[in-house]
Amino acid sequence: MNAVKRLLLVCVCLGSVISARAAVIGPFLSEIHYDNVGADSNEFVAVTGPAGFDWVGWQVVLYNGSDGAPYASAGVPDPATAIGAWAEAVVAFGGIQNGPDAVALISPHGVVAEFLAYEGPVTAIDGPAAGAVARLLPVVENGVAVGLSLQRQGSPEDWDWVLASATQGLVNDGLVLERTSALPAPATWLLMLAALWGGFTRRSRVAVADGPGVLAG
């Protein structure tokens, strides 16, 4: 295998690893409260992401399950606090419907980062998530006690949702998350690629000086 092929193979492997890591550290819906006994209070949707993440342009969109259309939306604010490498941003809503309905997390570029339904299946017909089928949560809030919420727990490889005491603004106790990279994945990728290319060009210059066959695999 010559040097060019080795370089390409390493780049492909690194790309796969970095892509997988980028998927792990991306923002995700982490907590939802839409119903409690008596008059609904303190309704919200929470989003968890890396501490220091740029939330400009991110939005939470609420979907009506009966017609698949959005009925409310709001931008994701900067989190008030960060716990270690992670932080939870809270988007407050008044009048989140009791379901079957859904919640979508939309990136600044209009990409559906996540689309979750509760109390029944939902398919988006209109709005930024049009055509997407929401993943149905395994738990619901059906007249539960005040102060509870639906919360994401577990690791990215084995997500689960439970009903627990609301922790808006704090990363869920049951989440098992890796430490985030000091650099965003694209920046890390460019640095690695630059280092690899620099090493390759240096070896190429040595090969030219020493004659053919030096870099043969």
Tell me if 27 sits within 8 A of 47, measured CB to CB.
yes
Residue 14 lies in a domain: yes
Distance separating alpha carbons of residues 169 and 154, to the nearest angstrom: 18
Report the pLDDT value the prediction gives residue 133, as an integer from 0 to 100: 98
Whether residue 5 is predicted with pLDDT greater than 80 in this model: the reply is no
| Whether 187 and 161 share a structural domain | no
Across 13-27, 167-181, 182-196, least confident range: 182-196
Helix/strand/coil for 206: helix
Tell me the pLDDT band of 176, cut-offs 50, 70 and 90. Answer: confident
In this structure, are residues 109 and 54 in contact, taking their beta carbons and an 8 Å threshold? no
Q: Is residue 70 part of a domain?
A: yes
Instruction: Sheet with 112-118: list strands edge to edge.
Output: 70-75, 59-64, 101-106, 112-118, 135-136
pLDDT at 81: 80
175 domain residue, yes or no: no
12 and 85 both lie in a single domain:
no
Closest by alpha carbon to 32, among 140, 135, 160, 157? 140
Residues 116, 85: Cα–Cα separation, whole Å:
25
Residue 173 lies in a domain: no
**72 and 126 part of one domain:** yes
Predicted pLDDT at 25 = 57
Count up the domains in the chain and report the number.
2
The stretch 77-86 carries a mean pLDDT of: 86
Residue 41 predicted with pLDDT over 60: yes
- Per the domain annotation, does 68 fall within a domain? yes
Q: Are 141 and 202 within one domain? A: no
Rounded Cα distance, 98 and 141, in Å: 8
User: pLDDT-derived band of residue 101, with 50, 70 and 90 as boundaries?
Assistant: very high
Other Cβ atoms less than 10 A from the Cβ of 12: the count is 10
- Looking at residue 80, its pLDDT comes to 83
- 147 and 73 part of one domain: yes
35 and 101 co-located in one domain: yes
Question: pLDDT digits over 134-158, tens only?
Answer: 999 999 999 899 999 999 999 877 8
Residues 191, 196, 201, CA angle at the centre, nearest 5°? 125
Structure tokens at 49: 């992401």
Q: Which amino acid is at 38?
A: G
Q: Domain for residue 170, yes or no?
A: no
Task: Say what the pLDDT of residue 165 is.
Answer: 95
Residue 181 has what pLDDT? 43
Tens digit of pLDDT for each residue in 6-23? 443 344 344 443 433 334
Taking Cα atoms as reference points, which of 16, 3, 19 lies closest to residue 185? 19
**What is the per-residue pLDDT for 49?**
94
As a whole number, the mean pLDDT across the chain is 78
φ/ψ of 58, rounded to 5, equals: -75, 145
- Same domain assignment for residues 52 and 131: yes
CA dihedral 8, 9, 14, 17 (to 10 degrees): 140
Give residue 159's pLDDT. Answer: 87
> Which one has a higher pLDDT value, 173 or 186?
173
- Pair 39, 145 in one domain: yes
Looking at the DSSP bridge assignments, the partners of residue 32 are 45, 150
Q: If you average pLDDT over residues 15-41, what whole number do you get?
A: 73
Q: Are residues 117 and 79 in the same domain?
A: yes
> How many angstroms separate the CA atoms of 77 and 169, rounded?
11
Residue 215 lies in a domain: no
Determine the Cα–Cα distance for residues 41 and 49; give it in Å rounded to an integer: 25
Asked whether residue 192 is domain-assigned, the answer is: yes
Could you list the residue range(s) of the whole structural domain that residue 49 is in?
27-165
pLDDT band with cut points at 50, 70 and 90 for residue 114: very high
Q: What is the largest CA-CA distance in the chain?
A: 84
Same domain as 103, residue 9: no
